């Protein structure tokens, strides 16, 4: 089965809870945003109630969005500017 | 109706006079200038916030701000809008966000400012970390009770 590999950059509290701001995520095809969210559940340092947004192409992507090989994604906790 | 607009996110502060000049380029009846200033909030354990460090994704932030501007235009009769948010460390008492809005009438200017700031706190990708007087840090996560690090 083919596998995708994407670069992911984490922001805010996620950067600290994951232990790094950049990492590579690999997953068998097809991979969707929901798969990435489920994968993140394995980290006990991430609060289970923390909403996490997945961004590609400067747009918040829904759970069923397909992640393709080579994409660069951003993981974002709730925003807190202003 | 067209609207004069400026959105920027950077580590450089802006001058409030320049914002006023920008929003008053159009003939207007009301101008509102807002500055969001870092507060010395209580971080717990008798420690207060000394500064806030902001990080974000400027290009996406501006894209989200442009969406908010469309929404504001549908709700209010505003003539111009200026928004600037700092990134990096901002000390207590210093301004982190500047907004200027002009409209024919005061209610539209104030209303648009209020909605703008509410929407910024929902979708614009900027994240802040409080830094205490003793150098403790705490990410501000609106939906969670924060834990001190």
Q: What is the pLDDT of residue B118?
A: 96
ipTM: 0.92
Q: What is the pLDDT of residue B46?
A: 85
Confirm whether B148 is domain-assigned.
no
CB atoms within 10 A of CB B90: 22
Confirm whether B143 is domain-assigned.
no
Confirm whether B117 is domain-assigned.
yes
Residue of B nearest to A77 (CA): B141
Q: Please list every residue in chain B whose beta carbon sits closer than 8 Å to the beta carbon of residue A82.
A: 36, 85, 97, 117, 120-121, 124, 126
How many separate domains does chain B show? 1
Confirm whether B145 is domain-assigned.
no
Residue A38, by phi and psi: left (phi above 0), alpha (psi -120 to 50) or beta?
alpha
Confirm whether B59 is domain-assigned.
yes
For chain A, list the strands marked E by DSSP.
3-10, 22-28, 31-32, 53-56, 59-61, 66-67, 72-76
Residue of A nearest to B139 (CA): A13
Domain boundaries, position B71: 4-138
Tens-digit pLDDT profile for residues A50-62: 999 999 999 999 9
Confirm whether B147 is domain-assigned.
no
Which residue carries 């080579």 as its tokens? A70
Confirm whether B40 is domain-assigned.
yes
pTM of the model: 0.92
CB atoms within 10 A of CB A41: 9
Which CATH number fits the domain that encloses residue B29? 3.90.1170.40
Tens-digit pLDDT profile for residues A27-82: 999 999 999 999 999 999 999 899 999 999 999 999 999 999 999 999 999 999 98
């Amino acid at each position: 089965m083919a596998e995708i590999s994407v670069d992911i950059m984490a922001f805010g509290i996620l950067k600290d809870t994951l232990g790094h701001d950049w990492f590579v995520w690999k997953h068998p095809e097809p991979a969707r945003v929901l798969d990435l969210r489920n994968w993140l559940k394995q980290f006990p340092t991430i609060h289970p109630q923390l909403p996490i947004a997945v961004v590609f192409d400067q747009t918040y992507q829904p759970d069923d969005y397909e992640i393709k090989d080579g994409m660069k994604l951003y993981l974002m906790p709730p925003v807190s500017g202003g | 109706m067209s609207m004069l607009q400026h959105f920027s996110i950077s580590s450089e502060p802006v001058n409030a006079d320049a914002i006023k000049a920008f929003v008053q380029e159009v003939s207007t009846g009301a101008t509102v200038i807002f500055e969001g200033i870092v507060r010395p909030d209580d971080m717990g354990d008798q420690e207060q916030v000394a500064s806030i460090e902001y990080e974000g994704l400027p290009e996406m932030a501006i894209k989200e701000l442009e969406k908010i501007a469309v929404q504001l235009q549908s709700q209010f009769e505003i003539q111009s809008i200026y928004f600037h948010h700092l990134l990096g460390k901002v000390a207590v008492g210093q301004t982190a966000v500047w907004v200027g809005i002009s409209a024919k009438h005061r209610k539209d200017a104030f209303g648009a400012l209020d909605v703008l700031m509410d929407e910024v706190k929902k979708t614009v990708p900027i994240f802040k970390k409080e830094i205490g007087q003793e150098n403790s840090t705490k990410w501000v996560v609106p939906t969670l009770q924060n834990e001190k690090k």
